Amino acid sequence: NAGVIQTPRHKVTGKGQEATLWCEPISGHSAVFWYRQTIVQGLEFLTYFRNQAPIDDSGMPKERFSAQMPNQSHSTLKIQSTQPQDSAVYLCASSPRTEKNTLYFGAGTRLSVL
């Protein structure tokens, strides 16, 4: 069991560029979550999918952030026109059907917007 895999581990973008973050959940897990972690805001919920369907995106900044889960083996978080305030560690987590509400986190992608 490789755990949740996030790529890249680090990403540096210039202001205004696009960033795409990838997540591969644990095989067999039915839900995928995206969180953002900063010193100031802590762990913020962004969005989650169950069985590939978007369930709750209440934490997503509406204008520039989008998330997709095209198949059960990966999810992407895309940030358009990145801004310095988007700099954070973006964490993906998955949970199994048999243990709903228990999250298994990936190592995160550290996004730095210059």
Closer residue to other proteins in complex, CB, 18/99: 99
Closer residue to other proteins in complex, CB, 18/56: 56
Task: Tell me the closest approach of the beta carbon of residue 105 to other proteins, in angstroms.
Answer: 4
Task: Tell me the closest approach of the beta carbon of residue 59 to other proteins, in angstroms.
Answer: 8
Closer residue to other proteins in complex, CB, 12/55: 55
CA dihedral 66, 109, 95, 5 (to 10 degrees): 110
Closer residue to other proteins in complex, CB, 1/14: 1
Residue 43 neighbours by CB under 8 Å, 6+ apart: 35, 36, 37, 91
Task: Tell me the closest approach of the beta carbon of residue 70 to other proteins, in angstroms.
Answer: 20
Which residue ranges make up the site for other proteins (CB under 8 A)?
31, 33, 42-43, 45, 48, 50, 55-56, 58-59, 89, 91, 93, 95, 100-105, 107-108
Tell me phi and psi for residue 86, to 5 degrees. Answer: -80, -10
What is the rounded CA–CA span in Å between residue 65 and residue 80?
Answer: 7
Q: How far is CA 49 from CA 25, 64, 65, 71, 83, in A?
A: 11, 19, 15, 11, 25
